[in-house]
Amino acid sequence: METLVYIALFAPFVSSMFAALFGMSPRKTFVGIVASLLLLISFAASVMLMMHIYATGTGIHVRMMDWISAGDLSIPFGFLVDQVSVTMMVVVTLVSTVVHVYSIGYMDHDKSFNRFFSYLSAFVFSMMILVMSDNFAGLFIGWEGVGVCSWLLIGFWYHKADVTREENPSISPSWAANEAFIMNRIADLGMLVGLFIVYWNVGSLQYDAVFSALPHLSGTVLNAAALALFIGAMGKSAQFPLHTWLTDAMEGPTPVSALIHAATMVTAGVFLVIRANPLFSVTPEVSYFIAALGTFVAFFAASMALVNRDLKRIIAFSTLSQLGYMFAAAGLGAYWIALFHLAAHAFFKALLFLGAGNVMHAMNDELDIFKMGGLKKTMKWTYLYMGVASLALAGIPFFAGFFSKDAIIETAYNEGTLVLWAILVVTAGMTAFYSFRQVFLTFEGDERYKAFGIHPHEMYKFVLVAMSPLGILAVIAGFGKGSFEHFVTKLLPEYHMSEHTHHIAWLLGLIVLAFAVSGIVLAYKKYAKKLVRDEKVENSFIYKLLANQYYIPKLYEEFISKPYAMISEHMWKDVDMKIVDATVDGIAKFLYKSGDGARKMQSGNLSNYLNWMAVGAVLLLVVAAFSAMLG
């Protein structure tokens, strides 16, 4: 079994290194194929591990080597494959495999094809370290690795120039990459503080050691640690107020977006909360804060998605919203439901993104859904995939999202947090509306793209086939809910609905369904036939507010970036140039001068050199004599 663990972990690494070998050379299709195969191997190993754990019910703990052992700090490099991490591993490797295959088609014309695969696999490898590590240090390494890889990938088309915010809300790929990286750095600081608090008080970073020491810690320490760790999670999972990077990250190639949203990055925050559930379950205040923030983000993101015109951004907002759901569940103590939603969401969100990629590919990278429409004729399969994924996202019965999202909403009711419940229900309706608004605007109605002279075409066959596992899972994943619960609750705390909730579960479900269906119907009525733009609505304050993302990016720019730039400039001109620089220059000049002086010693004359040796010997004697007398 141990070998399987290593295979699952290192296959992506090998893949990355292999692709990196060809990083500089021109596009070679076999690089993509080998990378995909290695990912497939990793997936197969993960599935076998999952079956093993399902059968035996015990996790596998391997210890690879002692990584740092300096004084009292001892950090073994170990891996833990248990119910939670194996679930993540299967989800991550499955989605990544599909994304790899997809990229062979999608990045077909890109010069840096090989480099792309190298980054992509490195991204997966970092995420695997993150989920498989048996200690917080390893998790943090994976965490940073994911950050670096996301920076590389979002900025993959770094050569694109910066434009104004009006033209492109995310300015340029490299700007977006930097934004994502910096936002994450801010959050990582929180995470690091959390790790220090844990280490300071427990003396270890091993999960089992930390969790078994929790009862001995004071409430303040626990709250501080939980809060600090959650700040880290907020960055990676793009929770308010650190959410802006997620939509701007759409600047990266679409397969990257699929990977970030479904498998390798944003789920890391949720994973952290689930992994550290013993800590969060003893800090109810922090947990409630998480639930409330999650609910708020769910609604907040959904509202922005309502009016957005950018195909990928809408999906990005929906991810944000669904992450909110997951945090709500985790905050309310239903960790296994959060994990379940994470898995189910990964499937249909990856599918949605890959579908969006198909559309982009067909539309020459056009993303404005107002310029699309009627694509169903040419892109049947993509329509089917995106339709299924949207149904799942909207929570229509018997699709994957229905089971997981309903469970979350039910949990909110069960906990008696009716306000949260109500918001989540409304959000479910909004979700249905915006996802179908996008589907209908893209695939139904009049063919607006003709005005722009675009000739759409369907994606390659093998890409469509590669997407099919996701499509199937988006439909059927929900039916595994029972066995999934049975599987993961061996490790995660069980969560039961109360008797009362159980009785009215059908009613609750019906209410959600009603909201969802009415959302879809509304979207159909408004957008399926034809795009009618309503000037009055579009000029209304709320519409503008939503379309500009509550002016938050602008706010950040005005109140954080610009003052920061001003202070920086001031510091540079006045403090740095006049004081620091002058000092440094002075030192450098001094060093240079003394270097020049010392160069005289190096005359090249042998007699001089011999003299120097004698001088040295005498000097040594003098120094020795002095120190002997003084000492």
Residues in CB range of 366: below 8 A, 6 or more apart:
360, 372, 449, 452, 454
Two tokens at 418? 């009716």
| Residue with smaller CB distance to other proteins, 472 or 620 | 620
Q: With binding defined as CB under 8 A, does residue 524 bind other proteins?
A: no
Instruction: Give the distance, in angstroms, between the CA of residue 609 and the centroid of all CA atoms in the same chain.
Output: 64
Binding part of the chain for other proteins, among 143-151, 212-220, 535-543, 610-618 by CB under 8 A, reads 610-618
Name the burial class of residue 500, with classes exposed (0-12), middle (13-18) and buried (19+) by CB atoms within 10 angstroms of its CB: exposed
Binding part of the chain for other proteins, among 34-42, 262-270, 548-556, 589-597 by CB under 8 A, reads 589-597
Cβ 521 to other proteins shortest distance, Å: 58
Cβ 601 to other proteins shortest distance, Å: 6
Distance CA 227, CA 213 (A): 18
Among 3, 24, 109, 167, binds other proteins (CB under 8 A): 24
Instruction: Report whether 512 contacts 409 (CB < 8 A).
Output: yes
Q: With binding defined as CB under 8 A, does residue 581 bind other proteins?
A: no
Place of tokens 């010392």: 598
Q: With binding defined as CB under 8 A, does residue 6 bind other proteins?
A: no
The DSSP secondary-structure symbol of 67 reads E
| Residue with smaller CB distance to other proteins, 122 or 311 | 122
Cβ 599 to other proteins shortest distance, Å: 6
Two tokens at 478? 């929900």
Please give the backbone phi and psi of residue 27, each rounded to the nearest 5 degrees, phi first: -50, 130
SS3 label, residue 398: coil
Distance CA 498, CA 482 (A): 17
Residues 215-274 contacting other proteins, CB under 8 A: none
| Residue with smaller CB distance to other proteins, 514 or 615 | 615
Q: With binding defined as CB under 8 A, does residue 472 bind other proteins?
A: no
Instruction: Report whether 27 contacts 113 (CB < 8 A).
Output: yes
Two tokens at 630? 């003084």
| Residue with smaller CB distance to other proteins, 568 or 594 | 594
Q: Which residue type, as a one-letter code, is found at position 285? A: E
Distance CA 619, CA 232 (A): 58
Cβ 596 to other proteins shortest distance, Å: 6
Cβ 165 to other proteins shortest distance, Å: 32
Q: With binding defined as CB under 8 A, does residue 605 bind other proteins?
A: yes
How many C-beta atoms lie closer than 10 Å to residue 399's C-beta? 22
Binding part of the chain for other proteins, among 86-94, 154-162, 553-561, 614-622 by CB under 8 A, reads 614-622
Residues 30-89 contacting other proteins, CB under 8 A: 65-67, 69-70
Of the candidates 358, 261, 240, 251, the residue with the CA atom closest to the CA atom of residue 315: 261
Binding part of the chain for other proteins, among 352-360, 549-557, 560-568, 613-621 by CB under 8 A, reads 613-621
Cβ 25 to other proteins shortest distance, Å: 11
Cβ 119 to other proteins shortest distance, Å: 18
Distance CA 154, CA 172 (A): 10
Q: With binding defined as CB under 8 A, does residue 25 bind other proteins?
A: no
Q: With binding defined as CB under 8 A, does residue 596 bind other proteins?
A: yes
Q: With binding defined as CB under 8 A, does residue 602 bind other proteins?
A: yes
Binding part of the chain for other proteins, among 179-187, 219-227, 339-347, 593-601 by CB under 8 A, reads 593-601
SS3 label, residue 164: coil
Residues 503-522 contacting other proteins, CB under 8 A: none
Q: With binding defined as CB under 8 A, does residue 628 bind other proteins?
A: yes
Distance CA 79, CA 63 (A): 6
Cβ 239 to other proteins shortest distance, Å: 32
Q: With binding defined as CB under 8 A, does residue 453 bind other proteins?
A: no
Q: With binding defined as CB under 8 A, does residue 288 bind other proteins?
A: no
Distance CA 342, CA 82 (A): 17
Among 3, 220, 539, 627, binds other proteins (CB under 8 A): 627
| Residue with smaller CB distance to other proteins, 161 or 614 | 614
Q: What is the DSSP string of 170-226?
A: T--HHHHHHHHHHHHHHHHHHHHHHHHHHHHHHS--BHHHHHHHGGGS-HHHHHHHH
Binding part of the chain for other proteins, among 9-17, 418-426, 534-542, 591-599 by CB under 8 A, reads 591-599
Q: With binding defined as CB under 8 A, does residue 594 bind other proteins?
A: yes
Nearest-10 crossing angle of helices 311-331, 418-443: 160
| Residue with smaller CB distance to other proteins, 568 or 602 | 602
Binding part of the chain for other proteins, among 102-110, 275-283, 364-372, 590-598 by CB under 8 A, reads 590-598
Instruction: Report whether 129 contacts 10 (CB < 8 A).
Output: no
Please give the backbone phi and psi of residue 77, each rounded to the nearest 5 degrees, phi first: -95, 95
Cβ 249 to other proteins shortest distance, Å: 28
Q: With binding defined as CB under 8 A, does residue 598 bind other proteins?
A: yes
| Residue with smaller CB distance to other proteins, 452 or 592 | 592
Cβ 620 to other proteins shortest distance, Å: 5
Name the burial class of residue 273, with classes exposed (0-12), middle (13-18) and buried (19+) by CB atoms within 10 angstroms of its CB: buried
How many C-beta atoms lie closer than 10 Å to residue 306's C-beta? 17
Binding part of the chain for other proteins, among 37-45, 208-216, 551-559, 603-611 by CB under 8 A, reads 603-611
Instruction: Report whether 94 contacts 37 (CB < 8 A).
Output: no
Q: With binding defined as CB under 8 A, does residue 608 bind other proteins?
A: yes
Place of tokens 């619960």: 485
Q: With binding defined as CB under 8 A, does residue 10 bind other proteins?
A: no
H or E stretch including 79?
strand 73-81
H or E stretch including 486?
helix 481-488
Binding part of the chain for other proteins, among 323-331, 492-500, 504-512, 602-610 by CB under 8 A, reads 602-610
- Size, binding site for other proteins by CB under 8 A: 40
Contacting residues toward other proteins, per CB under 8 A = 24, 65-67, 69-70, 588, 591-592, 594-596, 598-599, 601-602, 604-621, 623-625, 627-628, 631
